[in-house]
Homo-oligomer: A and B are copies of this chain.
Amino acid sequence: MSERLPVTDKVPFGGDYNPEQWPVPVWNQDYQLFDLARIDTVTLGVFDWALTQPAPDVYDFSLLDRIVERATTEGRRICLATGTAAHPPWLARRHPEVTRVDFEGRRHRYGQRHNSCPSSPVFRRLSTELARRVAARYAANPSIVAWHVGNEYGGTCYCELCAAGFRDWLRRRYGSLDALNAAWYTTFWSHTFTDWDQIEPPSALTEHWRGPEHTAFQGITLDYLRFSSDAMLANFLDEKAAIRESSPDVPVTTNFMGMYRPIDYHRWAPHLDFASWDNYPPDDSSPSWMALSHDLMRGLKDGQPFWLMEQTPSHTACRDVNPLKRPGVMRLWSWQAVAHGADAVLFFQLRASRGASEKYHGAVIGHAGRADTRVFREVAQLGAEFDRLGAATLGARTPARVALLFDWDSWWALEISDGPSRLVRYQQVVLAYHRALWDAGVDVDVVAVTADLSRYDVVVAPALHMLKGDLPGRLAEVTARGGSVVATFLSGRVDENDNAFLMDVPGPLGELMGVRVDEWDARGPEFVNPVLLRAGTDQVEVASRLVFELVIPQGAEVVGTYQADFYAGTPAVTRNRAGDGDAWYVAAGLDQPGVSWVMRQVLDRHHLTGPYADVPDLETAVRVAPDGVRLRFLLNHRAEPVEVTACAGGVDLLTGDRVEGGQPVRLDPRGVMVVREDG
């Protein structure tokens, strides 16, 4: 696994910048404003293909030269893009096969962005060549601290070229049609394939009904998801290799999108030098959603810090409703990113476009070019804070003892499954368990199922529908050495090919969990089955919804029981003593209080609950700098101030003020502290 972070002496601060859209006088104004806001880093050239290659045989870097030169002269760090995220009109006109065919089987024509068929030879050849030329031209410029390949890879193509690519991919995966037929269970519904050419991409015209999640054959759909992720990875690798021809050392990344279903970032991550991502949370009450996303992005490269490549300073444009970030929110969320491992804080965008679909997307500099807007002022204040912070957080790691398993295969398998319930969404289940940990103030690594689990006391596996490889054994090792494992309903159902395990549910997890699931009920969201949870004298009734597995304990102790329906009194939550540890099984869709109760039991057992677990919306996170210094972040997500007792002495790096352990500290509404704890 390649690991290489851009070399900087402070948190890079800035963002996407498109001077090619503007005349030079505007550039002058921009750099004056950048100075005011302490913007030291610009991402350049993300959509420059039409500019740098205006015709099949013409490359023209004259304008990009001037843009890079100006940034260099102005002393900014540059994150330089290869510019291949949208192909130019002439390419689609000349090579119609470069556009995608959609799920409905329609060949698209020129338009939008992220519009190239990943299997198109001409796209692969020309995108690689462009990356090669960009890198060759600018590799010697020391202002360039990172290469930015493509942009927000995603989407799917269903064309004939992809069909051929899929068949090749399948040949490599399965070796023989017999193996493929077995994996896809094709005896069902007369699907036995007798020639590779009979295989079609699974789409609205073949196996699907009602949309991309409803398929007659989970096996082919799952493999097409894997193939599509791999096909775009090949595009990334094409460009990375071309960059490396002239730039052996500058780190290469592409901007990810957090919990983005179409791309298995765990399969991509080894090939990036460092991870980066674009943080556009679904709404303005998303701190735990962002915390999970940051943890997932940090987990991609084994805890290495990542870059926050994009966030809006104010509001988005592409949504039905685009609310403003309230005063203080942009700063708070920027610090949250750092708290969870970000080593850069960048915006989309530095100056607002005049036209097209993002002209109303928030920007550091608006259409009037003013410095006296609320948004600009807040950006400039944050820029000053990062200046003050210097290098303190760079390279710092999160000392988590809790792991949460995140698995694209399970996500896909669960959501393309027919039965038991389309209402169970993988993200929602994962969010609930992560939220419980976040509320409890514990640092969490969100990791792949292949991650090394030996360093964790607690491993949480929500909705781990698919069980692959040696994971059951590695989970058993966690409990063997005294750790706790938590699994939930709809886990351990299928193997790597989405075929059901021919044993009791939860399959290979059954022995560790000490349960068997005899059957399962699913109901609409209006139906609630109360669950009574008990631990010693602690007793609470919570709600469960959507899925209710009926458990017959095989050694496990009953912790929670259903309170209604014909299975009233039967187990909903169990704990199995395994080795020196505990294996918890949550058989029902508990509400957040239920999930939080379970997770608190687990954390308390390992003394991992954070100091402010009972202070709502006060987030804490710890990073340990390369020199061993502990940095404790306190983030007040409330619009009211909060006062708590400092858990350790140290210095708040944002103010320079001293904090004494055991003494009260006060955070403003949406306030932040970064305490360098006494060594």
Contact = CB atoms under 8 A, between A and B. Distances in A.
Interface of A: 18, 20-21, 47-51, 54-55, 83, 85-90, 92-93, 104-113, 184-195, 197-200, 202, 204-209, 215-219, 314-324, 326-327, 352-361, 367-370, 373-375, 417-423, 494, 497-505, 516, 518-524, 546, 550, 565-566
Contacts of A93: 195, 197-198
Contacts of A207: 111-112
A211 to B, nearest CB: 12
Given A90-B195, A108-B205, A418-B318, A190 B83 contact: yes
A520 B112 CA distance: 27
A192 B51 contact: yes
Contact of A566 (B202, B327, B375, B521): B327
A587 to B, nearest CB: 14
Quickly give the copy total for this chain: 3
A315 B202 CA distance: 26
The residue among A54, A319, A418 with the most chain B CB atoms within 10 A of its own CB is A418
A368 B111 contact: no
A235 to B, nearest CB: 16
Contacts of A206: 108-112
Contact of A500 (B188, B323, B355, B505): B355
Contacts of A320: 421-423
The residue among A202, A216, A319, A375 with the most chain B CB atoms within 10 A of its own CB is A216
B523 A323 contact: yes
Nearest to A187: B21
Nearest to A498: B355
A24 to B, nearest CB: 14
Contacts of A419: 315-319, 322, 359-361
15 contacts: A50-B186, A111-B216, A112-B207, A188-B358, A216-B356, A218-B359, A316-B419, A319-B419, A322-B419, A323-B522, A352-B500, A359-B494, A367-B500, A368-B502, A370-B504
Contacts of A87: 190
Contact of A89 (B51, B194, B566): B194
Given A112-B189, A420-B315, A92 B198 contact: yes
A86 B190 contact: yes
Given A21-B187, A90-B194, A368-B502, 13 more contacts: A47-B188, A51-B192, A86-B190, A90-B195, A112-B216, A113-B190, A185-B356, A188-B356, A217-B356, A316-B419, A324-B520, A355-B499, A367-B503
Nearest to A368: B504
Given A355-B219, A356-B219, A500-B354, A322 B192 contact: no
Contacts of A355: 184-185, 188, 217-219, 497-500
A209 B500 contact: no
A97 to B, nearest CB: 14
A198 B91 CA distance: 9
Given A106-B104, A419-B360, A522 B321 contact: yes
Contacts of A546: 321
Contacts of A49: 190
Nearest to A108: B205
A501 B359 CA distance: 11
A87 B375 CA distance: 57
A18 B158 CA distance: 33
A555 to B, nearest CB: 17
Contacts of A373: 518-519
Contacts of A321: 420-423, 522-524, 546
A360 B112 CA distance: 40
A33 to B, nearest CB: 14
A218 B361 CA distance: 14
Nearest to A518: B373
Contacts of A90: 194-195, 198
B194 A322 contact: no
A86 to B, nearest CB: 4
Contacts of A522: 315, 321-324
